[in-house]
Amino acid sequence: MAVATQVEPVNLGWLMARVMRHRKAAVRSIGYGMLAGVTTAGEPYLIGQLINRIQEGAGMDVILGFVGAIVALAAVSIFAFNQLRFYSGEVAYSVDYDLRRSLFDNLLTLDQDFYKRYPSGDLISRMHNDMMVIWRLNALGFLRTGTAIFMLLTTFVLLALVNLPLTLMVFIILCGSTALQVWAGMALAPISEKVQDQAGVLAGIVQDSVSGVQTIKTTGKESSFSEQYRHENELYRDKWLHFRRRNEPVGMIPNGISEFTAAVVVMLGGLSAINGQMSVGDFTSFLLYLGTVSVWLLNLGTVYQRWQQAKAALNRLAPLTQPTKVASKPEAAPLETVRGEVVFERVSLTLDGAAVLRGVDLRIKAGEVVAIVGPTGSGKTQLVNLLARVNDPTTGRVLIDGVDVRDMLLDDVRAQVAYVPQSTFLFSRQLRDNVLMGREADDNTLNEAIRISRLSNDLPQLPKQLETMVGERGVMLSGGQKQRVAIARAIIRSPAVLVLDDALSSVDTHTAADILGDLRRVLKTRTSIIIAHRVATVKDADRIIVMDEGRVVEDGTHDSLVASGGFYAKLVEREMDVEAE
């Protein structure tokens, strides 16, 4: 049964909750931003007052006093901006670290249905490109927002003291420019999300092509994949240009409005200065403030645009935050000693609306070697996947030593059930690391696992033996070698239940027999479940289970099933005919 968990909405509130985990740096960033805003606004005012004092014939002591005040204010401003950059960077990088870590950890827990819906290349794009958009918002937001707001407030007060009508006109025009950016940001957000979606498509093609480069080469499909990438790359270019053609004017129009405002200030302020209604120093302050106000209003508009883009990124990150359907219950108890008895009680499983298991009843004694055979699609793999809770049954129960696996800690269950699939995934690391998978094991244990899996037969052929880099997805190894690595990996774990899901299909019959013989000796106190298509692999099992259309249709020893003349007997007959040809 899936664990019901409330999905937390991924929005500004969700992001700010992560920011508040670093509230000290955030508060300091805002505080220094306020200080930087006030000092930035104060400098043009002091310069204007200095010019007025010079015109009035003030003495050198007064002039030096103003100069000293301007220098002191500049020093404080430099210090505030330096601290602002440091703490805003701390917030941005800390939140980025937390998000990447939590999203990656969650990715490792999500079920197979999730990975069916989202290609790996697209997930990589979301973890990189969309996270970069969030980082830019945090970095820019904390760097500029506080400074801009307090600089504008201080500027408005100081300019209003000089000339309130002109100040109101300037702020109304420039605030209109900012409103235009806000509107544009809302309109551009969906377009930005389409660009990011297309970037995910490109990343998916690259990931698939690199991972399957051998298949592409051997099938001569280089030109086909190249054409596919060219087509999607053209779409990415077109969507990006579509976004830029609409985004660039948004940046140019406010600049034009700012230039127009400057012309108005020069004209009206200049006339006021000529008519004696405004001093030259106040007029100078207005001109200096105009450039500063324009820049910081544009900064606020830019922050808002970044937020609109970040909303699109958060929408794309939302699937990565969803809880897994398979998780430990809060009251789950840790496992004690595990004997390895496995029971399937009236187990049924429905995936994507199709019934793949139908009322399976099966008991496997601790230490028993059981083989499962059946045609493709009969439900063999889906049945054993229930043991490690890759999926949970739709109805019925799966028990280990009489305890429902859903009542156990998930990590404990997966530690006791070692699953060796037919298709083995190897990491681009040394062979030794691929066998150990992060586990601590002495040389004797490692060598024994390598010997039992018969991986020892392949070591002399490898350039650096266990230190050999196996390449992307184990490209340096053959299919049989990969399967032997997977078997060695499982033996190292010393599990209570070992599942071999057609894990000897790429191994020759003689080697398979040797591996199974040693496994029975070493794991004689362990439960073993072997899924296979070759009779030679399963005939010596304690029991053979035959499945068809999601049900158990036969159960017995090799001899009894052959004598019964059912599905298994026909399988044996077909294999003997093939060998005779």
Q: Mean pLDDT, to the nearest integer, of 22-50?
A: 84
Q: What is the mean pLDDT of the chain?
A: 78
Q: What is the mean pLDDT of residues 144-159?
A: 78
Question: Collapsing DSSP states into helix, strand and coil, what is residue 396?
Answer: strand
Look up residue 520 and give its amino acid: R
Neighbour count for residue 536 (Cβ, 10 Å): 15
Q: How far is CA 564 from CA 334, 360, 554, 557, in A?
A: 44, 21, 9, 11
CB atoms within 10 A of CB 575: 14
Whether 297 has a pLDDT exceeding 60, the answer reads: yes
Q: What is the pLDDT of residue 35?
A: 87
Query: What is d(CA 300, CA 290) in angstroms, rounded to the nearest whole number?
Result: 15
Q: Which of 76-85, 321-330, 486-495, 528-537 has the largest mean confidence?
A: 76-85
Q: Given phi > 0 = left and psi -120 to 50 = alpha, else beta, which region is 76?
A: alpha
On whether the CB atoms of residues 58 and 34 are closer than 8 A, the answer is no
Stronger pLDDT, 115 or 346, i.e. the higher one: 346
Alpha helix ranges (H) inside 108-130 = 112-117, 120-125
Q: Side chain identity at 206, as an amino acid letter?
A: V
* Structure confidence at residue 572 (pLDDT): 80
Residue-wise burial string across 409-439, b where 16 or more C-beta atoms lie within 10 A, e elsewhere: ebebbbbbbbbbbbebebeeebbebbbbeee
In this prediction, residue 6 carries a pLDDT of 46
Q: Which two tokens stand for residue 439?
A: 């586990």
In order of start, what are the domains of the chain with their CATH numbers? 12-321 (1.20.1560.10), 342-580 (3.40.50.300)
Q: Do 511 and 482 contact (CB within 8 A), yes or no?
A: no
CB contact at 8 A, 256 and 29:
no
Q: What is the pLDDT of residue 473?
A: 62
| Rounded CA separation 363/398 (Å) | 10
Instruction: Supply angle C-alpha 112, 419, 209, rounded to 5.
Output: 50
Higher pLDDT, 472 or 36: 36
Question: Which one, of 521, 545, 529, lies nearest residue 417 by Cα?
Answer: 529
Q: By C-alpha distance, which of 319, 306, 312 is closest to 9?
A: 319
Do residues 287 and 51 make contact, with C-beta atoms less than 8 angstroms apart? Answer: no
Residue 443 has pLDDT above 70, yes or no: yes
| Contact status, residue 334 vs residue 141, Cβ threshold 8 Å | no
**Phi, psi of 324, deg, nearest 5:** -75, 150
Distance of CA 517 to the CA centre of its chain: 43
Most confident of 60-64, 426-430, 503-507: 60-64
pLDDT at residue number 4: 39
Residue 425 confidence (pLDDT)? 72
Residue 38 or 293, more confident: 38
Q: Is the pLDDT of residue 65 over 80?
A: yes
Q: What is the pLDDT of residue 142?
A: 75
Asked if residue 5 has pLDDT above 50, the reply is no
DSSP state of 324: P
Residue type, 566: G
Maximum separation of any 2 CA atoms in the chain, in Å: 121
pLDDT at 152: 78
Residue 504's pLDDT is: 67
Cα gap 41→35, rounded to integer Å: 10
Encoding tokens for residue 434? 């691929």
Q: What is the pLDDT of residues 197-252, one digit of tens each?
A: 787 788 777 777 766 666 676 667 677 778 888 888 888 888 888 877 776 666 56
Pick from 135, 144, 126: which is nearest to 202 by CA?
126
Tokens of 253: 């129009």
Res. 528: pLDDT tops 50 = yes
What is the three-class DSSP state of 540? coil
**308 touches 186 (CB < 8 A):** yes
Q: Which of 14-18, 171-175, 390-394 has the lowest mean pLDDT?
A: 171-175
What average pLDDT does the segment 329-333 reach? 75
pLDDT tens digits, one per residue of 449-494: 777 777 777 777 777 777 776 666 666 667 777 777 778 877 777 7
**120 pLDDT exceeds 60?**
yes
pLDDT of 18 strictly over 80: yes
Q: Which of 26-40, 122-136, 422-436, 502-516 has the lowest mean pLDDT?
A: 502-516
> What pLDDT score was predicted for residue 578?
56
pLDDT(10) > 60? yes
490 or 6, greater pLDDT: 490
